[in-house]
Structure 1
Amino acid sequence: MSLTGTPFFLTSIALLIVAVVLPLAVWSRIAGPRLVRTVARLLMLVFAQVTAITVVFVLVNNANNLYDTWGDLLGTGSHVEAAKDLGPDGMGGQQIKNRPKQLQRFRPADDPRMGTGVTMTDLRGRISGVLGEVYVWLPPQYNDPAYRNKKFPVVELLPGYPGSSKAWFGSLHVGEQLGPLMQRGTVKPFILVAPRTNILTGADTGCVNIPGKVNADSWLTVDVRQMIVDNFRAGDKPDSWALAGYSAGAHCATKLALSHPDRYRAAVAMSGYNDPALEPDSLAGKDPKLRIESNPMHILKSANAAGRPPRTALYVSGAAGDGYQAGIGLRQLAKRPTTVTVQQISALAGGHTTAVWRQQVPEIFRWFGTQLRG
């Protein structure tokens, strides 16, 4: 039973009702020795406390899509089948163009709270060795005969940590918000893709490749990207691809876009950070070498020093102390053709929450419309 599904929520409510009604019905009717009666009543009180805590957890989890499965919550689920050393480009010497298309079967998303039009598939990453679900939402124009020959730009959506790949649709309501705007033409049509990012037990991968452990970078930037190109009318050039993330996902979006200007043209980072060590569970933050190499500031400095500033557009938003300074640091380093737009969010807007990020969805996709081409 999914932790974010309606069945689990209704089950927790039913158990809470039982936990409240049961003591009222049998408290004075419990027979037996005094010790037995005391233990029975204590167990009923403990059961009531546990069910109440469970309901609160379910409400918070449903609102923020933190944990999708029991394996995610308990740290028993791993989605890594292999983690070969794939080298600096994350390709392991392989060429995608030389491999047959990876055609996938898609089914309706397994959670109705994600809204209409969201489909999902289970993808086995041929390069990364990662196995995980990928959610896809197509714009209203995709099946319009007038667009039958058009290739659409794509935005990969990354949640925070912990976080479910459902979060952008279930908590930020990205499809429900953008569908009408795209239909009216006030936002350009995009294919939205939300791949699993919680792929390693009890750890934030930091979206890096670590030989022998995980190839999170290649999962997102090679396997997921190519699967979308193989299965949909999606552009395959950098000008057609972007990333968007919040919190830990914001760090990933910035890091991946700057690391791979040959794959992505733009990225949005909401309430993120540059130093991966700011996430205590980050594998990149715990490794001194990776901590430096995966910092977007370092990536940008190194590219500038080599005389190759990436042709990357960044949009960074956040409150003071929650992403804003990270954006300012990147903007100070940016040299053409790199551009960095920084948007300060009021400290009174609501804090580090999905409600704050949800409000920014229309604006960031209007910005994407100025950066990407189909």
Structure 2
Amino acid sequence: MSLTGTPFFLTSIVLLVIAVVLPLAIWSRIAGPPMLRGLARLLMLLFAQVTAITVVFVLVNNANNLYDTWGDLLGTDSHVAVAKDLGPDGMGGRQIKNQPRQIQQFRPADDPKVGPGVQMTNLKGRISGVVGEVYVWLPPQYNDPAFRNRKFPVVELLPGYPGSAKAWFGALHVAEQLGPKMQRGEIKPAILVAPRTTLLTGADTGCVNITGKVNADSWLTVDVRQMIVDNFRAGDQPHSWALAGYSAGAHCAAKLALAHPDRYRAAVAMSGYNDPALEPDSLAGKDPVLRVQSNPLHILKAANAAGRPPRTALYVSGAAGDGYQAGIGLQQLAKRPTTVTVHQIAANAGGHTTVVWRNQVPEIFRWLGMQLRA
């Protein structure tokens, strides 16, 4: 039974009803010695508590798309086939231009909560060694004959941790919000891509490459990126690509865009952080070297010191103590052609929640439309 499916949700509701009604019906009718009656009543109370907690968990999980599968929840799934040493560029000495096209079979998304038009595929990363699902949504203009010869910009969407690849579509309603606005010309049309980011048991990869553990950076910035170029009319130049993330995904978006200006032109970071150690389960945060190397502040400082400020545009939003200061830190370091726009969220806007990030979707995509071209 699927963790996020309707059958499991209904089953949890039925069990909760039984757990409430059962004690009312038989509490005084339980026979036997006092110890046995006490034990039976205790078990009924425990059953009621467990079913109540289960219903709350299901509601929260389905609303925020935290865990996709039982394997994600229980930590029994691994999506890493191999994690070779891929070197500083994350390519392992290989060139994408020399690789054959990787044509994928797509199918409608298996969860109706993501809305219409979202399709998915299971991708085996040829460079990263990662295996995972990737969700794709095409703008209304994609199948319009008037646009048949046009390539489209792409925005790669990253969730928080824990977080499902479909969270942007399910919890943030990104396609439902943007589809009509793109159709009316209010927002520039773009392909939306949401890859799996939960790759290891009980760990946030921090979107880094760690030999022998995971090549999360190469999965997102090489394999997923090239697969989209191979299968859709997507631009393949940096000015056609951007990242957007919230919470841990915001950290990843800023880090990857600054580290790979040859692959991405812009990034949106909502309620994120610079120091990966602020996420207790971050593999990057637990490694002293990676903690520094994967900090967007360090990446920007190093690029500036080398006389090569990245041609990267960042949009950072957050409340005080929840992303805003991280954005100010980056803004103070930015040297042309790097630009950093910081937007402060009101303290009473809703906290560190999907509601806050969902409300920002139209605004951030208007901004992205000004940064990207096909």
TM-score w.r.t. structure 2 length?
0.98
Instruction: Give, in angstroms, the shift of residue 25 of structure 1.
Output: 2.5
User: Partner of 2:348 in structure 1?
Assistant: 348
Structure 1, unmatched stretches of 5+, are none
Q: What's 2:337 paired with? A: 337
Greater CA drift, 251-260 or 55-64: 55-64
1:11-46 per-position Cα deviation (integer Å, ceiling 9, x unaligned): 111111111122223333333333333222221111
1:313 aligned partner: 313
The percent identity for this pair of structures is 85
1:188 maps to amino acid: K
Alignment partners' CA distance in 2, 1:184 and 1:345: 28
3-state DSSP of counterpart to 2:206: coil
Q: Secondary structure at the match of 2:175?
A: helix
1:145 maps to 2:145: yes
Return the offset for 1:90. 0.2
Cα distance in 2 between the residues matched to 1:39 and 1:331: 62
Instruction: Give 1:166 deviation, angstroms.
Output: 1.3
Once residues 172 and 275 of structure 2 are traced to their aligned partners in structure 1, the CA distance between those partners, rounded to angstroms, is 25
**Quick one: distance in 2 between partners of 1:32 and 1:166?**
52
Equivalence map 1:52-67=2 (5 Å): 52-67=52-67
Once the two structures are superposed, the pairs formed by residues 1-374 of structure 1 within 5 Å of their partners are: 1-374=1-374
- Could you tell which deviates more after superposition, 215-224 or 19-28? 19-28
The one-letter code sitting in structure 1 at the alignment partner of 2:26 is: V
Matched residues in 2 for 1:84 and 1:226: separation? 19
Which stretch of the first structure deviates more once superposed, 197-206 or 65-74?
A: 65-74
Task: Give CA deviations for 1:43-102 in whole Å, capped at 9, x if unaligned.
Answer: 111111100000111111112111111111111211111000000000001111111111
Residues of 1 paired with 2:7 and 2:276: CA distance?
A: 36
User: How many Å separate the matches in 1 of 2:330 and 2:20?
Assistant: 54
Q: Deviation per CA, 1:162-205: give whole Å up to 9, x if none.
A: 11111101110001100110011100111000100010111110
CA distance in 2 between counterparts of 1:17 and 1:45 reads 13
CA distance in 2, matches of 1:196, 1:173: 17
Aligned letter for 1:54?
T
CA distance in 2 between counterparts of 1:17 and 1:122 reads 38
Cα displacement string for residues 287-307 of structure 1 (whole angstroms, at most 9, x for unaligned residues): 111011000011011111111
Q: Partner amino acid for 1:368?
A: L
Structure 2 CA distance for aligned equivalents of residues 187 and 8 of structure 1: 38
In 2, distance between residues paired with 1:28 and 1:280?
48
Point out 4+ residue stretches in structure 1 off by more than 6 angstroms. none
Letter in 2 for 1:278: L
Larger displacement relative to structure 2 (247-256 or 61-70): 61-70
In the alignment, residue 80 of structure 2 is paired with which amino acid?
Answer: V
Residue-by-residue CA offset, 1:102-144 (whole Å, 9 max, x unaligned): 1111111111111111111111111000011111111111111
1:8 positional shift = 1.8
2:321 counterpart letter in structure 1 = G
239-248 or 32-41, larger mean C-alpha shift:
32-41
Q: Which moved more, 1:104-113 or 1:251-260?
A: 104-113
Q: Tell which deviates more after alignment, 6-15 or 109-118.
A: 6-15
Aligned AA for 2:368? F
